[in-house]
Amino acid sequence: MPFLELRVMQVNILFPINAEGFTYLVPGELEEKIKPGLRVLAPFRSGKKVGIVVGLDKTTAITQDKEITLKSIESVLDDEPLIPDNLLKLIQWVGQYYMSTSGLALKNAVPSGIFEGKKGSKGRITYDHEAAPAKKINLTAEQQKALSEIISAVSGAFLLHGVTGSGKTEIYIRAIEELGDKEAIVLVPEIALTTQIVDRFRARFQDKVVFFHSGLSPGERITSWRKIRNGEVKVALGVRSAVFAPFKNLGLIIIDEEHEASYKQFEGLKYSARDAALARSKIESIKIILGSATPSIESFYHAKKGKLGYLELTQRVEQRPMPRVEIIDMTREEKESLSYSRKLLDVLEKNLSEGHQSLIMLNRRGYSPFLMCTDCGYTYKCPACSITLTYHKDTKTLNCHYCNSFLKPQDACPECKGTKIKYIGLGTQRIEEELHELLPELNLKRMDRDTTTKKLSHYRIVKDMEDKKIAVLLGTQMIAKGHDFPDVTVAAVVFADVALNLPDFRSSERTFQLFTQLAGRAGRGDVSGAVYIQTYEPEHYVFDYVRNHDYKGFYQNEIELRKELSYPPFSKLIRVVFSFRNKEDGVRTMKSVSARIKKITRPRNPKLKTQNLKSDFEILGPSPASIEKIRNYWRWHLILKGANSKSLRLAALKILESIKDIRDVKADIDVDPINLL
């Protein structure tokens, strides 16, 4: 007697966990309801879990002689797909490209409350009044030319390279206005920047703008997400995760300050929101604008090669001059304190007397990078990480900026019991304290991660600057990015040497970008600006380009170095980090790993003269990471460098495969790393 054949529907369900999809059966009564993008409730391990349908197969045949081991979904939670098909494609692309999982991409793309059935809530920044109508702005000839090229294109990617204060935001707004019934995503690198840019966008689009970032409560995120999903808004404005905004009719993506490192996520799924946005623009055949006064070396290179449309704004709006930049040589200058030269203090006093505002930047938070016993040289180090602990005077604690642990320092040295403990180096708390003592009449405010942890803290500081309640805003790189304060006429860097000599091939690029961006905050109003950079290395080549606002000169110098060393954009990088609980185990295991890596070969290909995997790329390492220990894990790393992305990925997979039988080693992959520390 022939076996009966049953026609059973199978679906692929993706859960917001670090895994790919799971296959389930669909009960007959639910078959008509099932579609990709719907939420379903399904048994998972010993409980139940909400997931998203990402694929279905109606032709699965199961015969009576075959035991059915698949579980069935229990219920369908939506009438219509909650996640649009275009977003599902992006989620799967991100999981695959970054050699992670689609489940982890889903977790980053959709607020957790959506899976938990939570309701939204009203935001605490409320707009009970209509936004003030936007002032009529006449475009410069350069702005009009750039806008015309964007409007006339059906799709494609553009690099909008405009000096600071050249009116890039106005181009963004007008490009969105020309979209008709289509929608737009606007990405900014810092939550602190959303305050001003939201006001600009609300003046033009009223309540058709929502912002979307990690600073919102879970309920606020759900509310914003649903408004976007239901087509109630035209613009989603936010940081990294806004790239996943669930628009169904997207027409344009804008990446403001596209060069910023904060578009890259460093924990969990190590994705770049900028590169994910470029992928989304291709998936949906839409336009994307990458805007910056200091584009990443890679983006400018691709623009020169024709992969990105190049739009240039060389002049500030209303013919305002670029700020004058002066390099202060701290080896010769008269100093009033550890942090401040006499010249800079005179400038700040004069600026205050004239009723203008100033910005002061030191890209290192806390009070002092470390405490040292001058009797024996002992310094406090984090017990979980191989770095010194930073002293924070407000909390009287020594803090680790990597694992967030802290401890209370003792009055006596733990090593020699000496009492001559000194604060070594500068942090934002210390330069704030010194400035208070030197110029007590200054109305001073600090803006760094320590002062902006509370909800709305960014918002209040920016509003106080706009209302001229603050004379000097002092902080980390947070103050250098994108703010538009017309009354700021002086910008200063207290200790420029912090970023100059990091062991990373991008350190010069980041330094040039940071100082140029800070300079761009000065002189955006009716009074011209001036910039003062204090350094003990005044001859460093970066300062020549910063002084002259010469991006193209810096690019030419940097691109030659990159070409010589075969670093991006002339190659692709994949970083593999190996972590161990025990240092000695790590050393022993990495000897074995190194031996296995040397034996790895590609699949046989008769057309290739050599089968060695290293033939079309280079393996740097493995070696101890620059920061050798983080969160009690000892770290080794290797860098795969080559022109062929597929070969690199294959090699990375083979390396992981070769060590899967080794116990007590954790391997982590970072595709297109921007930090090699």
Per-residue pLDDT, 306 = 96
- Same domain for 75 and 161? no
Distance of CA 483 to the CA centre of its chain: 17
- Judged against a pLDDT cut of 80, whether residue 317 lies above it is answered with yes
> pLDDT digit string (tens) for 268-281?
999 999 999 999 99
- Same domain for 353 and 473? yes
Per-residue pLDDT, 110 = 95
Instruction: Render 483-500 in DSSP notation, one character per residue.
Output: ---TTEEEEEES-GGGTT
Residue 307 carries which side chain, given as an amino acid letter? Answer: K
Last residue of a domain, one of 562, 592, 625: 562
555: phi then psi, degrees, rounded to nearest 5: -55, -45
Distance of CA 121 to the CA centre of its chain: 27
- CATH of residue 610: 3.30.70.600
- Same domain for 165 and 301? yes
Provide the angle, in degrees to the nearest 10, between the axes of the packed helices 457-466 and 194-205.
70
pTM exceeds 0.85, yes or no: yes
Beta carbons of 442 and 472 less than 8 angstroms apart = yes
Q: Which of 189-203, 488-502, 578-592 has the lowest mean pLDDT?
A: 189-203
- Judged against a pLDDT cut of 50, whether residue 603 lies above it is answered with no
- Judged against a pLDDT cut of 70, whether residue 62 lies above it is answered with no
- CATH of residue 81: 3.40.1440.60
- Same domain for 18 and 98? yes
SS3 content of the chain, % helix, strand, coil (to 5): 35, 25, 40
Task: Give the domain range for residue 474.
Answer: 320-368+425-562
The Cα–Cα gap between 373 and 43 comes to 59
Residue 376 lies in a domain: no
Kindly give, in sequence order, each residue whose CB lies less than 8 Å from that of residue 556, ignoring residues fewer than 6 positions away.
none
Structural tokens at position 210: 């929502």
- Same domain for 508 and 483? yes
* Average pLDDT value for residue range 329-342: 95
Residue 255 carries which side chain, given as an amino acid letter? Answer: I
Question: What total number of domains does the chain contain?
Answer: 4
Per-residue pLDDT, 4 = 52
> pLDDT digit string (tens) for 215-236?
778 888 999 999 999 999 999 9
Task: Give 611's pLDDT tier (boundaries 50, 70, 90).
Answer: very low
> pLDDT digit string (tens) for 425-484?
899 999 999 999 999 999 999 999 888 888 778 888 989 999 999 999 999 998 988 788
Per-residue pLDDT, 194 = 65
Residue 469 lies in a domain: yes
- Same domain for 324 and 453? yes
Per-residue pLDDT, 610 = 41
- Same domain for 32 and 104? yes
> pLDDT digit string (tens) for 154-188?
999 999 999 999 999 999 999 999 999 999 999 99
> pLDDT digit string (tens) for 75-115?
999 999 999 999 999 999 999 999 999 999 999 999 999 99
- Judged against a pLDDT cut of 70, whether residue 1 lies above it is answered with no
Q: Which long-range contacts (CB under 8 A, 24 or more apart) does 387-391 make?
A: 387/627, 390/365, 390/366, 390/427, 391/366, 391/367, 391/423, 391/427
> pLDDT digit string (tens) for 391-409?
999 899 999 988 989 989 8
Residue 401 lies in a domain: no
Kindly give, in sequence order, each residue whose CB lies less than 8 Å from that of residue 655, ignoring residues fewer than 6 positions away.
576, 593, 596, 597, 600, 638, 667
Last residue of a domain, one of 116, 132, 160: 116
Q: Where are any strands of DSSP class E within 320-396? A: 324-329, 357-361, 370-373, 390-392
Provide the angle, in degrees to the nearest 10, between the axes of the packed helices 551-565 and 297-304.
90
Characterize the bridge pairing of strands 39-44 and 9-14.
Answer: unpaired
Task: Give 613's pLDDT tier (boundaries 50, 70, 90).
Answer: very low
Percent of the residues in the chain that have a pLDDT greater than 90, as a whole number: 68
- CATH of residue 506: 3.40.50.300
Which value, to the nearest 10 degrees, does the dihedral of the CA atoms of residues 642, 645, 650, 653 take?
90
* Average pLDDT value for residue range 539-543: 94
CA-based end-to-end distance of the chain: 68
Residue 398 lies in a domain: no
Residue 288 lies in a domain: yes
Residue 499 carries which side chain, given as an amino acid letter? Answer: A
* Average pLDDT value for residue range 539-555: 96
The Cα–Cα gap between 377 and 543 comes to 34
Three-state SS at 391: strand
Task: Give 353's pLDDT tier (boundaries 50, 70, 90).
Answer: very high
Task: Give 387's pLDDT tier (boundaries 50, 70, 90).
Answer: confident
Residue 403 lies in a domain: no
Q: Which long-range contacts (CB under 8 A, 24 or more apart) does 590-596 make?
A: 590/622, 590/636, 592/662, 593/622, 593/655, 593/658, 593/659, 593/662, 593/665, 594/622, 596/655, 596/658, 596/659
- Same domain for 230 and 310? yes
> pLDDT digit string (tens) for 125-146?
444 345 566 677 899 999 999 9
Residue 536 lies in a domain: yes
Kindly give, in sequence order, each residue whose CB lies less than 8 Å from that of residue 336, ignoring residues fewer than 6 positions away.
342, 345, 438
The Cα–Cα gap between 434 and 566 comes to 44
Partners of residue 288 on adjacent β-strands: 157, 253
Per-residue pLDDT, 609 = 44
Distance of CA 53 to the CA centre of its chain: 29
- Same domain for 498 and 361? yes
- Judged against a pLDDT cut of 50, whether residue 606 lies above it is answered with no
- Same domain for 164 and 46? no
Instruction: Render 523-542 in DSSP notation, one character per residue.
Output: S-SSS--EEEEEES-TT-HH
Per-residue pLDDT, 212 = 81
- Same domain for 288 and 361? no
Q: Which of 658, 670, 570 is nearest to 613 (CA)?
A: 658
The Cα–Cα gap between 281 and 288 comes to 6
> pLDDT digit string (tens) for 623-666?
999 889 999 999 999 999 999 888 899 989 988 888 888 877 88
Q: Where are any strands of DSSP class E within 82-212? A: 156-162, 183-187, 209-212
Per-residue pLDDT, 248 = 94
Task: Give 615's pLDDT tier (boundaries 50, 70, 90).
Answer: low
Q: What is the mean pLDDT of the chain?
A: 89
Beta carbons of 497 and 535 less than 8 angstroms apart = yes
- Same domain for 43 and 190? no
| Greater model confidence, 121 or 73 | 73
Residue 244 lies in a domain: yes
The Cα–Cα gap between 581 and 590 comes to 13
Per-residue pLDDT, 74 = 95
CB atoms within 10 A of CB 382: 24
Last residue of a domain, one of 283, 317, 351: 317
